[in-house]
């Protein structure tokens, strides 16, 4: 029996409306074309690698805000990661072994993202975690092994990792670039992050994600990025929760985070152009990335960083919070017990009393006597112990200080943590709970690292990843089966310990906490 035209039209409309919607293991359409992914190690997880979220920032698009990605015809097989953005490839650098570092190719054509989802179809609405990698705004990638999103996808999240421009290609400002763009330049890497978040808003429902429940998370430079996103009018409405791992407000002795101004960035960019003999931005764009990033005799490496450009950032994020102009979303923030172990050998290899006293004077100035009274250092053993303790307790004080300032205008809660579990590593106990060491636990990816894991590690990874998944879903990490995690309140300062014990931890002794609070009030 032949179907009449009306019946055929009705059948087509039912399919288009979602009747019989195929699973995500079949090709489906996103805004730029049809895409297919691949199965994860667990066949219930669908992985989509190397999806372009913006046009390649090459040629005339170098040092411009990201442009829309081009559409494609046919089916794009998203089974391979895109190239990482330009950086100095090192392979490994202790304590960051290969699992923590970029191993693939690099290119200026690098604005890609990756998606892990266990949704059965696009009709589901799962919470979304968009993860921004660390690396000092000069290295890193969304395809680094420890960021594999499969385990979190199995816990109900749709996980997105992204690449963004870094270094000179991501953050160079220049007077000519500012004139070209209507008065602002720099921060291209942060604009890439906004473009990726906007892509998520437009497309993540096709992967079973809920665009109204997006958590943006990051570690180190990724956490700083999240901090800047909370203060940027360009990011308004693009996310509903924020997670900062080892970011602003967790570094003892720093005090207020001061972001350079546009004039400072332009001056650095102009000085760089002069040093490389480029009379114009056109000349800089004509240079290869290899020439732009090559070491030069007698010239220190140029370090480009986010700035207050008047467009992405109109003011210091601290000023935005003080005035209540921030993107006010529930926030989870914390740091690791041994953040400085990879950067400051004296913390673990010993410091003499004289060197300890000199350090105190250089860092704390007129308050050095108060510091040394709280953290004595009459012997090398005592000085080393005090240095370790003050790094940890100063980090806790900074976290509490930052949270108290945030809470003055925020209408959303803050949850704080202190991660103290060291990755088991018999060959290098000196690194302890090092900077980035919490990430395999957050992603529940212990099996991807060859370490002598213990039951306590597996239990902690399950708990921490569950906290992150629950926070992404609800803006609150608390859930049945997890130890209670109280929110921060100025009169009830609480920091959750994440380690062999998972519970609110004791705060620093009153005289030590008072010293750091006084210093942070008057840095």
Task: Report whether 313 contacts 228 (CB < 8 A).
Answer: yes
Tokens of 364: 């704390």
Task: Indicate the DSSP class of residue 446.
Answer: G
Q: From the centroid of its chain, how far is CA 365?
A: 32
- For the chain, the first-to-last Cα distance in angstroms comes to 84
Task: Give which of 180, 186, 169, 171 is closest to 280, Cα–Cα.
Answer: 180
In angstroms, the CA 245 to CA 332 distance is: 8
Residue in the block written with tokens 């919470």:
127
Q: Which residues are catalytic?
A: 220, 339, 435
In angstroms, the CA 520 to CA 254 distance is: 8
In angstroms, the CA 12 to CA 158 distance is: 30
In angstroms, the CA 173 to CA 159 distance is: 32
Tell me the H-state helices in 408-454.
439-442
In angstroms, the CA 479 to CA 488 distance is: 17
φ, ψ (nearest 5 deg) of residue 511: -70, -30
Task: Report whether 339 contacts 305 (CB < 8 A).
Answer: no
In angstroms, the CA 278 to CA 287 distance is: 9
Residues written for the chain: 523
Task: Report whether 272 contacts 168 (CB < 8 A).
Answer: yes
* Helix, strand counts (H, E) of the chain: 17, 14
Q: Residues with Cβ < 8 Å from 196, sequence gap 6 or more? A: 53, 54, 111, 113, 130, 160, 162, 164
Task: Report whether 178 contacts 185 (CB < 8 A).
Answer: yes
In angstroms, the CA 180 to CA 218 distance is: 31
Query: How distant, in Å, are the alpha carbons of 105, 282, 507 from that of 370?
Result: 51, 54, 19
* Alpha-carbon radius of gyration of the chain: 24
Task: Report whether 131 contacts 217 (CB < 8 A).
Answer: yes
In angstroms, the CA 472 to CA 130 distance is: 10
In angstroms, the CA 181 to CA 329 distance is: 30
In angstroms, the CA 26 to CA 33 distance is: 14
């Amino acid at each position: 029996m032949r179907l009449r035209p009306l019946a055929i039209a009705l059948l087509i409309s039912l399919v288009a409306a979602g009747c019989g919607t195929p699973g995500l293991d079949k090709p489906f359409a996103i805004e730029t074309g049809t895409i297919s992914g691949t199965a994860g190690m667990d066949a219930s997880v669908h992985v989509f690698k190397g999806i372009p979220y913006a046009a390649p920032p090459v040629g005339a698009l170098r040092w411009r805000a990201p442009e829309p990605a081009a559409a494609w015809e046919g089916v794009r097989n998203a089974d391979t990661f895109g190239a990482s953005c330009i950086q100095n490839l090192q392979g490994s650098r202790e304590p960051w072994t290969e699992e923590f570092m970029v191993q693939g190719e690099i290119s200026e054509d690098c604005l890609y993202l990756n998606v892990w989802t266990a949704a059965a179809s696009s009709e589901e609405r799962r919470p979304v975690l968009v993860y921004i990698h660390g690396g000092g705004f000069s290295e890193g990638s969304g395809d680094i092994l420890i960021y594999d999103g499969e385990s979190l996808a199995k816990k109900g999240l749709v996980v997105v990792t992204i690449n963004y421009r870094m270094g000179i290609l991501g953050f160079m400002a220049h007077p000519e670039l500012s004139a070209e763009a209507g008065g602002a330049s720099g921060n291209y890497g942060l604009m890439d992050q906004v473009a990726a978040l906007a892509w998520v808003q437009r497309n993540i429902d096709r992967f079973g994600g809920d665009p109204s429940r997006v958590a943006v998370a990051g570690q180190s430079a990724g956490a700083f990025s999240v901090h800047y996103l909370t203060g940027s009018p360009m990011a308004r409405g693009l996310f509903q929760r924020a997670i900062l791992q080892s970011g602003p407000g967790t570094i003892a002795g720093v005090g207020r985070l001061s972001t350079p101004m546009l004039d400072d960035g332009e001056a650095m960019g102009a000085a760089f152009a002069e040093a490389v003999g480029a009379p114009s931005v056109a000349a800089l764009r004509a240079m290869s990335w290899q020439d732009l990033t090559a070491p030069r005799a007698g010239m220190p490496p140029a370090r480009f960083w986010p700035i207050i450009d008047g467009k992405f950032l109109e003011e210091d994020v601290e000023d935005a919070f003080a005035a209540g102009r921030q993107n006010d979303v529930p926030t989870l923030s914390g740091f690791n017990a041994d953040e400085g172990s990879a950067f400051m050998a004296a913390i673990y290899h010993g410091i003499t009393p004289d060197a300890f006293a000199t350090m105190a004077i250089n860092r704390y100035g007129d308050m050095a006597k108060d510091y040394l009274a709280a953290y004595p250092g009459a012997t090398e053993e005592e000085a080393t112990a005090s240095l370790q303790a003050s790094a940890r307790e100063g980090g806790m004080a900074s976290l509490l200080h930052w949270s108290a300032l945030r809470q003055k205008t925020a209408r959303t809660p803050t949850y704080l943590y202190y991660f103290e579990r060291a990755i088991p590593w018999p060959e290098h106990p000196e690194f302890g709970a090092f900077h980035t060491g919490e990430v395999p636990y957050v992603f529940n990816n212990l099996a991807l690292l060859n370490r002598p894991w213990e039951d306590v590690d597996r239990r902690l990874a399950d708990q921490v990843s569950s906290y992150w998944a629950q926070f992404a879903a609800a803006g609150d990490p608390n859930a049945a089966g997890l130890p209670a995690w109280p929110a921060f309140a100025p009169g009830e300062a609480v920091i959750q310990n994440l380690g062999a014990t998972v519970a609110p931890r004791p705060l620093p002794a009153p005289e030590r906490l008072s010293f750091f609070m006084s210093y942070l009030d008057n840095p």
